[in-house]
Amino acid sequence: MAQISERMVLSRRHGLGLAATLAFAGWLRPALAAAAVQHKVKLAPGGLYELVASRTTGLLHVAAAGSRGGNEAVILALDPRTLDVKGRLALPQPAFGLAVNDSTGTLYTTNTRSGSVSAIDLRTGRTVATIARDEDAHVRQVLVDEEANKAYVSVYGYREKPSAIWVIDGARNEVAAVFDKGLDEGLTGLALDRTGNRAFATRLKTNDVLTVDLADGAVKRSFASGGEGPVNAAYDAARNRLFVANQKSGTLTVLDAESGTVVKSIATGAGALGVTLHPGNGTILVANRGAGTVSIVDGTTLVVRNSLATGSHPNTVAVDPATGIAYVTNKAPSAGRGQPPVDDPNGDTVCMIRF
């Protein structure tokens, strides 16, 4: 997912699974083996952002924005065992955030430069809807609630435009509601508590987290993120905890989701950005964009177990729940507007982490 800063916002820049038997033999063990990077591939075009694993296709899908001003934006489909490219879906506008509803076979993309969200049928590759409310909307993250057949989109507010959360009805692929009361500016990431019918929304400018009622969009409370520059968050329903990646302070903060109390602040690395809760072993994976590492945090002891070098700028981490394998997208350093791409073997790569 795209790195966020006020400067970047103002310039409009950002940004087949293995068998279950093998999974139980490999990663659901009483004593987990140390995590390790086992495979990495360089992909073209570059500008890699979010990655998701899909049950519908049995493949990984990666948003590749390409160079700014170019027309090579695609969604790449990768074999999750080899990371070989199995397909390319050309896009009229670059996609940055991704989420998949495998109950309907729909891939949602946030198209930040055009202020829209696309709904793509993964079985046919056809864009079935382009969803927009405001062409200046800085759409960022999209999350899916498969059971409710809804998608939630964070909209970063700036220049006195309020932030918002779009609620997309998956049956019609239309915006059914817009929550913007009390969100103010700078909303970045979302985490869903489906049982509690609420969302946790991080705000970059004010270093806090909002609890939003998904029934009516009311802001129920706010509390400090415990760090500087909160960008993304993940919710642990079993422990009722919220994990927040704070980009400016390079920390992962663990918060009690009810009281907002900081349970612990954990230094992970410069530019902490992406955060993912592993559904199988309970670890928290943090992509540290500035440090070039992914931290593996024990969900019980809240101690960093491993710090793995994955690439130049780790952006997002996704876990395939069928196998327990984690995948990381790594961007290349920016060459600047009008400059040729940076020749970087560790940038624009996807790697896999096994436990």
Amino acid at 55: R
Distance CA 334, CA 348 (A): 11
Distance CA 110, CA 50 (A): 10
In the prediction, which pLDDT does 29 show?
38
Distance CA 60, CA 52 (A): 6
Structural domain span for residue 191: 6-354
The model's pLDDT over 4-14, given as tens digits with 9 standing for 90+, comes to 544 333 333 33
Helical (H) or strand (E) element with 23: helix 20-26
- Give, rounded to a whole angstrom, the gap between the first and last alpha carbons of the chain: 23
Looking at every residue in the chain, the average pLDDT score rounds to 91
Distance CA 289, CA 284 (A): 16
In the prediction, which pLDDT does 2 show?
55
In the prediction, which pLDDT does 341 show?
67
Distance CA 236, CA 177 (A): 26
**In which residue ranges of the chain is pLDDT below 70?**
1-33, 69-70, 337-341
Give the number of domains in the chain.
1
Amino acid at 226: G
132 in a structural domain = yes
- Say which CATH number the domain at 143 has: 2.130.10.10
306 in a structural domain = yes
Distance CA 165, CA 187 (A): 9
* 253 Rama class: left (phi>0) / alpha (psi -120 to 50) / beta: beta
In the prediction, which pLDDT does 154 show?
98
1 in a structural domain = no
Q: Cβ(117)–Cβ(159) under 8 Å?
A: no
Task: State phi, psi for 18 to the nearest 5 degrees.
Answer: -70, 160
223 in a structural domain = yes
In the prediction, which pLDDT does 135 show?
82
Distance CA 238, CA 284 (A): 14
Q: Is the peptide bond before 162 cis (omega within 30 degrees of 0)?
A: no
Q: Taking Cα atoms as reference points, which of 69, 79, 75, 104 lies closest to residue 17? A: 79
**CA–CA distances in Å: residue 108 to residues 39, 91, 187, 193, 224:** 27, 13, 19, 20, 30
Secondary structure (DSSP) of 36-104: EEEEEEE-SS--EEEEEE-TTTSSEEEEE--STT-S--EEEEE-TTT--EEEEEE-SS---EEEEETTT
Question: What global pTM score does this model have?
Answer: 0.90
Q: Cβ(295)–Cβ(269) under 8 Å?
A: yes
The alpha carbon dihedral of 288, 291, 297, 302 has a sign of: negative
| Site of tokens 């070039």 | 292
In the prediction, which pLDDT does 160 show?
80
